[in-house]
A and B are shown apart, each in its own frame.
Chain A
Amino acid sequence: METATLTPTPTLSVRALVAAYEPGLPIVRGVDLSVSSGEIVTVLGPNGAGKSTFVKALAGLVPIEGGTVNFCGDDITTIPAHRRVGAGLAFVPQTENIFATLTIAENLKIAATALPHRERKAAIEEVMARFPDLGGRPTETAGRLSGGQRQMLAVGRALITRPRVLMLDEPSAGLSPKLVGEVFARLKEIAADGVAVLLVEQNVRAALEVADRAVVLAEGVVRRDMDAKALAQSDDLGALFLGAAPEAA
Chain B
Amino acid sequence: MNPQAIIDGLVAGSMIGLGAIGVTLTYSILRFANFAHGEFVTGGAYLTLVLLTALSAVLGTAPLSPFSVSLALVLAFGGALVLTGGVALTLDAILFRPLRRRGGTIIIIVIASFGASLALRSLIEFVFTATPQYFSRELQIAAPIGGGMRATPDQLLVLAITALLVAAVHLLLTRTDAGRAMRAVAENPALARISGIDVEGVVRLTFMIGGALACAAGVAAGLLVQIRPTMGFDLLLPLFAAAILGGIGSVPGAVLGGLLVGLCEALAAQTVGAEWRAAVSFAVLVAVLALRPRGLFGRR
Contacts and interface: CB of A to CB of B under 8 A. Distances in A.
Say whether A associates with B. yes
Contacts of A161: 196
Q: Please report whether the interface of chain B is mostly helix, strand, loop or mixed according to DSSP.
A: helix
A102 B183 contact: yes
Contacts of A60: 193-194
B56 to A, nearest CB: 43
Interface string B193-214: 1111111000000000000000
Contacts of B194: 59-61, 81-82, 84-85, 90-91, 93
B292 interface: no
Interface residues of A, number: 27
B190 interface: yes
Contact of B187 (A84, A90, A101): A101
B101 interface: no
Contacts, number: 69
A126 interface: no
Given A82-B198, A82-B199, A113 B190 contact: no
Contact of A106 (B180, B193, B199): B180
Nearest to B199: A82
Given A80-B193, A91-B194, A110 B188 contact: no
A86 interface: yes
Q: Which are the 5 A-B pairs with shortest beta-carbon distances?
A: A114-B196, A85-B196, A81-B193, A91-B194, A111-B195
25 contacts: A60-B194, A61-B190, A81-B193, A82-B194, A82-B199, A84-B194, A85-B194, A85-B195, A86-B196, A91-B194, A96-B188, A96-B191, A102-B180, A102-B183, A102-B187, A106-B180, A110-B180, A110-B184, A110-B195, A110-B197, A111-B196, A113-B177, A114-B195, A157-B195, A161-B196
Given A96-B188, A96-B190, 11 more contacts: A60-B194, A80-B193, A81-B194, A82-B195, A85-B196, A93-B190, A93-B191, A101-B187, A102-B187, A109-B177, A113-B177
